[in-house]
Chains A and B, each alone.
Chain A
Amino acid sequence: MSNQHTTPRMLPLLVSGSLILAVTVLASLLLGAGEISPARAWAALWGYGSDEALFVLYELRGPRTLIGALVGVALGCAGALMQAVSRNPLAEPGLLGVSAGSSFAVALALVLGASISTLTVFVAQAGALVGCALVMTAARLNGLGHNPVRLILAGATLTSLLMALTSLLLMFDQRSADEIRFWVIGSVAGRDMSQAIQVLPFIGVALGLLAFIARPLAALALGESVARGLGEKPARIRLISVLVVALLVGSATAIAGPIAFLGLVVPYIARHFTGPDIRRTLWLSAVIGPILLIAADTCSRLLAAPAEMPLGVMTALLGAPVLIVMIRARRMPLL
């Protein structure tokens, strides 16, 4: 997308975004609830310091930050994509039950005897796919598309239904309950790095597909007939989009559990800088996503120190006001 018109606006945005991301990553590595002071962590970063400091930095905070970045990219892009394809700025995977669908699928698999480390990734993705298909159908039903309250109600209904079903499953199975309780509250702390590596190919495929559908998707924002008049195939674009959202949300949920609001807030901020074109919103969302997630995770360690507030709680605290502001805005921005 090199041209005199978008490049000058995109490049500084991406550069400043990357700088902020670098600072956030550094803060996440240096700050924490434990005994390791920022100065000791800084030294450990360069390989000096006690075994304890090295352990905290390389075994705890490092993986945690990496996973945070991965989840942030996945949820940021998934949110932007989902809002674009449903042409509704409130269509967010977490808000509309896609993450909940993913969690439910994992809980079901656990109850049926799977161990959390083996099946999670695929199961979470299948759950996200079904949840996503449900939501897309709902979002395109007449009257729901541009009626924020009804869309949120539909999403809330689906989410609470799935969460109730998940609780029901766990009630019958104590082993799974212990294993999953911690996972159902989204968090990037203490997650398994090997799972993050397992989902990397999925996220890679999803981002590759994204590059492929970005331009047709942008045309879809002008309406079905206009997009078809420009030679695009809306049905195929939607299908690929659902697949990409499922891959991204499934991956994120598999490694970090359901994390609310991130997919809503990230594209909302990105659009503020880039305007409505999904080709620009997506790239900026991929930078803002990890910034917000890592920042929220770092805050969650500091606010209740020495205890930690779960990340899911943190993003909800930050995201809920934004959602209320968006719904209270006199008019929904038309996508």
Chain B
Amino acid sequence: MNAKSTPIFTDQAVSLAAQALKVTRGHNTVIEALSLPLTPGAVTAIVGPNGCGKSTLLNTLARILAPEQGQVILNGRDIQQLPSRTVAQQLALLPQDTHAPEGMTVEDLVRFGRQPHQGLFQQWSPEDQAAVQAALSAADLLPLRYAPLDQLSGGQRQRAWIAMTIAQSTPLLLLDEPTSALDLGHQIEVFELIRRLASQGRTVAMVVHDLLSACRYADQLVAMVAGEVIAHGPPSEILTPELVFQLYRVHCDIIEDPFSGSPMLANVRRA
């Protein structure tokens, strides 16, 4: 890679797909016979009721969990057969509920993103520095780079974690409920960052708790119930009152956001 160009990520086609996955946790089968190709270059939001297996799916896609049956295919190969470093160079994961040690600064955190690219005794390279710089700048964190994480707002802190995954320079980004603990303003801050990352060509998959935000910020919606995908497609095409009922057991009407054009729920009421 040329050190002069901003090393966002290697410009190559990337594909990630789940094939006939069965994932169990303890004695419970959480996911059964699930197949899902991620659309390259798009933001995919996985939605569904609590306990439907969305986080389990994301963690299986990220190779944190191993499926009992089926495969996750990364660039044509079974992800479980690939070395963990190779996977980490292709795919960055932001888990739910992250904690950084006290006193760690934004830049310290972002620098961790370079680990999959460093050899055992390899020094910090100009390329690493450039990637960290680019990640900080992409997440609007340059002025806060030396600030300790525990002194930031929730939104800033989450942007710092995302910046770490940006510095990993991977074409694929998996985010588990990136906005779950944030208030509205901070949620939008994070979703807009995710949109910018997608516009640079990354493929993003995220678990999103809030259906409205998912429709607003995702290109592809994956609706899950009880470990199965019941609908998959652009939000405006697949979101219907019937789907919402299947997901959350509530009645509603679907209207169009007059500004963004994305579908919205109205008149939500108990079944």
Q: Which residues of A contact B35 (CB under 8 A)?
A: none
Could you say which residues of chain A place their CB within 8 Å of the CB of B93? 225-226, 228-229
Q: A228-B64, A275-B108 are in contact. Are A223 and B98 (CB under 8 A)?
A: yes
Q: Do B92 and A276 have beta carbons less than 8 Å apart?
A: no
Q: Mark B83-117, 1 if CB is under 8 A from A, else 0.
A: 01101110111110011111111011100110110
A219 to B104, Cβ gap below 8 A? no
Minimum CB–CB distance for A278 against chain B, Å:
9
Contact status A232-B115, CB under 8 Å: yes
Task: Considering the complex, give the chain A residue whose CB is closest to the CB of B118.
Answer: A215
Interface size on A, residues (CB 8 A): 27
Q: How far is the CA of A61 from the CA of B101 in the complex (A)?
A: 41
Would you list which residues of chain B between 106 and 136 have a CB under 8 Å from chain A? 107-109, 112-113, 115-116, 118, 120, 123-124, 129
In the complex, are the beta carbons of B116 and A231 less than 8 A apart? Answer: yes
Q: Which residues of B contact A216 (CB under 8 A)?
A: 115
State the Cβ distance, B18 to closest chain A Cβ, in Å. 18
Asked if A136 CB lies within 8 Å of chain B CBs, one says no
Instruction: Type the 1/0 row for A149-166, where 1 means its CB is closer than 8 Å to any CB of B.
Output: 000000000000000000
- Given known pairs A223-B99, A276-B101, the reply for A3 and B115 (CB within 8 Å) is no
Instruction: Return the contact of A231 from the options B84, B100, B104, B129 (Cβ within 8 A).
Output: B84
Is A19 in contact with chain B by the CB < 8 A criterion?
no
Task: Indicate if B59 sits at the interface (CB-CB under 8 A).
Answer: yes
**Which residues of B have CB within 8 Å of A2?**
123-124
CB of B143 to closest CB in A, whole Å:
16
Is B87 touching A277 in the complex (CB atoms < 8 A)? no
- Say whether A231 contacts B88, CB under 8 Å: yes
**Complex contact B101–A5 (CB within 8 A):** no
Please tell me if the beta carbons of A3 and B103 are within 8 angstroms of each other in the complex. no
Min CB gap B157→A, angstroms: 13
Interface residue? A175 (CB, 8 A)? no
Given known A-B contacts A1-B124, A2-B123, A225-B95, A230 and B112 have beta carbons under 8 A apart = yes
B62 within 8 A of A: yes
Residue pair A230, B101 in contact (C-beta under 8 Å): no
Besides A226-B93, A333-B103, 14 more A-B contacts (Cβ < 8 Å) are A3-B129, A218-B112, A219-B112, A226-B94, A229-B91, A229-B93, A229-B95, A230-B168, A231-B85, A231-B87, A231-B116, A233-B84, A277-B108, A333-B102
For the complex of A and B, list the 4 residue pairs with the smallest distance between their C-beta atoms, beginning with the closest: A231-B88, A276-B101, A229-B93, A225-B95
In the assembled complex, 21 residue pairs joining A and B whose CB atoms fall closer than 8 Å, in A order, are: A1-B123, A2-B123, A215-B115, A221-B100, A222-B100, A223-B99, A226-B93, A226-B94, A226-B98, A228-B84, A229-B62, A229-B64, A229-B93, A229-B94, A230-B88, A231-B87, A275-B104, A276-B101, A276-B103, A277-B101, A335-B101
